[in-house]
Amino acid sequence: MLQRDYTTSQLDVLEAEAIHIMREVAAEFERPCLLFSGGKDSVVMLRVAEKAFWPAPIPFPLMHVDTGHNFPEVIEFRDKRVAELGVRLVVASVQASIDAGRVVEETGRRASRNRLQTTTLLDAIEENEFDAVFGGARRDEEKARAKERVFSFRDEFGQWDPKNQRPELWNLYNTKIRRGEHIRVFPLSNWTELDVWHYIRREEIEIPSIYFAHRRRVFERDGMLLADSDVVQRGDDEPVFEAVVRYRTVGDMTCTGAVVSNATTVDQIIDEIATTRITERGATRADDRASEAAMEDRKKEGYF
């Protein structure tokens, strides 16, 4: 009867689902925003947002939680994309939270602002009265995330209660909240790391330079290569050397490790990931190594 098969490729299915999610938020919430770190997932999310509302501009601002410990290349990239799209950028500063006495800076060699970001993020959500916040998290990233809803309810303290989540059926999302509560929305929930890279290749999306192999001064800690930088406290027993590396994830300089790699193109990155035997967070994120439930505990507090 039908002349053709109407099969849809996996990237088209994932994109259509993400567009549907974004339009649902724009239609049902008063004040959404999109968390944009400049990392590959948020870059992909931004492209999907462009597509969802085209030819109209993206109908919500972007927000970046700036720890002050970011890679300079990523901040530069962030500002360039924001200027190109003409969208509003809200910068929530961890340094400002520290200066205001909202959080206390960690000290010592392993000091990181990773956990402090939660307070800054929640304060900014409250201050701007955001009721829906898009995040680029994927379920394949981490086992606590594998159980999180696409529309993830947060109470007035910004907390996630994994045992009391709203059932999510078909493509029907419950967007009802009271004042002061909000929903975290994850349009890329069903994407894998490889899907993200295949999409970046197909769409020819620009990404920060640190994803590609480059020469960098690094030192080794816990089997990870950390960047030698003013914001990272390094001991005398941690000698600096130069290596050709790239980043698989983009986080703070204090807790994001580089991997040794010669991949200088998206094609080479895809080949590398297709054969790697270590997850992206396992390879490169000290923040997830704190304990078995490190991510779950931070998420309950209101983390990304």
Partner 1 sequence: MDILRFATAGSVDDGKSTLIGRLLFDSKAIFEDQLEAVERTSRDRGTGYTDLSLLTDGLRAEREQGITIDVAYRYFATPKRKFIIADTPGHIQYTRNMVTGASTADLAVILIDARKGVLEQSRRHAFLTTLLRVPHLVLAVNKMDLVDYSEARFEEIREEFTAFASKLNATDLTFIPISALHGDNVVSRSENMPWYGGTSLLHHLENVHIASDRNLVDVRFPVQYVIRPHNATNPELHDYRGYAGQIAGGVLKPGDEVLHLPSGLTTTITGIDTFDGPVEEAFPPMSVTLRLADDIDISRGDMICRPNNQPRVAQEIDAMVCWMADGLKLQPRSKLIIKHTTRTARALVRDLHYRLDVNTLHRDESATALSLNEIGRVSLRTTQPLFVDDYARNRLTGGFILIDEATNGTVGAGMIVDAH
The two counts, helices (H) then strands (E), for the chain are: 9, 10
Closer CB to partner 1, residue 71 or residue 151? Answer: 151
Least gap, CB of 21 to partner 1 (angstroms): 9
Phi, psi of 89 (to 5 degrees): -115, 125
- Confirm if 269 and 259 have CB atoms less than 8 A apart: no
Least gap, CB of 254 to partner 1 (angstroms): 21
Closer CB to partner 1, residue 92 or residue 133? Answer: 133
What span, in angstroms and rounded, lies between the C-alpha atoms of 270 and 255?
A: 24
What span, in angstroms and rounded, lies between the C-alpha atoms of 100 and 88?
A: 24
Least gap, CB of 61 to partner 1 (angstroms): 18
Binding site for partner 1 (CB under 8 A): 2, 5-10, 12-17, 19-20, 23-24, 26-27, 50-57, 139-140, 142-147, 162-163, 165-172, 174, 176-178, 189-190, 192, 194-195, 276-279, 282-283, 292-293, 296-297
Closer CB to partner 1, residue 71 or residue 153? Answer: 153
Cβ atoms within 10 A of the Cβ of 19, count?
17
Closer CB to partner 1, residue 192 or residue 268? Answer: 192
Q: Coil, strand or helix: which one is 216?
A: strand
| 262 exposure class (CB count in 10 Å sphere: 0-12, 13-18, 19+) | exposed
Closer CB to partner 1, residue 159 or residue 171? Answer: 171
Q: Which two tokens stand for residue 32?
A: 């959404």
Strands 132-134 and 182-185: parallel
Which residue stretches of the chain are H helix?
10-28, 40-53, 72-85, 94-99, 117-127, 193-203, 266-275, 280-284, 294-301
Closer CB to partner 1, residue 12 or residue 106? Answer: 12
Least gap, CB of 102 to partner 1 (angstroms): 27
Least gap, CB of 245 to partner 1 (angstroms): 19
Closer CB to partner 1, residue 107 or residue 170? Answer: 170
Least gap, CB of 261 to partner 1 (angstroms): 17
Least gap, CB of 213 to partner 1 (angstroms): 21
Phi, psi of 109 (to 5 degrees): -65, -35
Q: Coil, strand or helix: which one is 139?
A: coil
